Amino acid sequence: MGENQKPASSTGPRYWAVIPAAGIGKRIQASTANNTPKQYLKIQGRTILEHTLLRLKQINNLAGIVLVLGEDDDWWMQLDDSLRKEIITAKGGEQRVNSVYKGLQALKDIASAKDWILVHDAVRPCVALQDISTLCNELTDMETGGLLASPVRETLKKVSSDLMVESTVPREDYWLAATPQMFRYGVLIEAIEKALHDNVQITDEAHAMEYAGYAVKIVQGSADNIKITHPEDIFMAQQILNKQARQ
């Protein structure tokens, strides 16, 4: 646990943010010949991770942030001390699900089963605070939780392994999952433990909850909440952040 952990609020629901940041972004590295993990690439003079953390720190009733880092992360300690203050760090695992689980374990002695956990991608710096507020308000009475997502707007094609179209899929039935994904601490860690025990490949927290049989609610968020995966996404994120600053 970090030495300067932020005290939790004694009234109202408590929220903890868990940010898996143990990946290196192989697709961006391959495209740019840059060995810097993508969360440490810079936009507007700050790393992507800094933008993400500064935004999440503004969440109301935030009890603390757990940042899950890679084993060989030499970049985190180079960031500004004022940003790193009050952030709990943990070492990541082989896959995202393992890293999230380690982040949850870091909270085992300080979070209660009913506390809310917001798992957010380190490389989604453009998430709107209004969307997070809506997520929290929409899920407040649930015993499980849900996630931000946006409806699919383009026509979807189901294809074969040789890229031949097999059918057109009704887009009305599909949403693009984003983060934060917000679930009660107790049921989330239970669901992830079950998936890990059963050796099920879990792609996100909602998937773990679905596999464990829990109800998961979709809350519509902005399509601006992009995940930086490819080099062109950095330019797009810059444009979105500029637009948000103007607004």
Query: What string of DSSP letters covers 93-152?
Result: -SSHHHHHHHHHHTTTTT--TTSEEEE--TT-TT--HHHHHHHHHHHTT-SSEEEEEEE-
What pLDDT is stored for residue 32 in this prediction?
A: 52
* Integer Cα distance of 210 and 183 in angstroms: 12
Q: What global pTM score does this model have?
A: 0.91
CA distances from 40 to 18, 72, 153, 176 (A): 17, 13, 31, 25
Structure confidence by residue, pLDDT tens digits, 182-194? 999 999 999 999 9
For 218, the enclosing helix (H) or strand (E) is strand 217-220
- Average pLDDT taken over every residue of the chain: 91
* Residue bearing the bigger pLDDT, 10 or 39: 39
User: Looking at domain 15-240, does it have CATH number 2.40.160.60?
Assistant: no
Domain range annotation of the chain: 15-240
What pLDDT is stored for residue 34 in this prediction?
A: 64
Q: Which residue has the tokens 């009050």?
A: 86
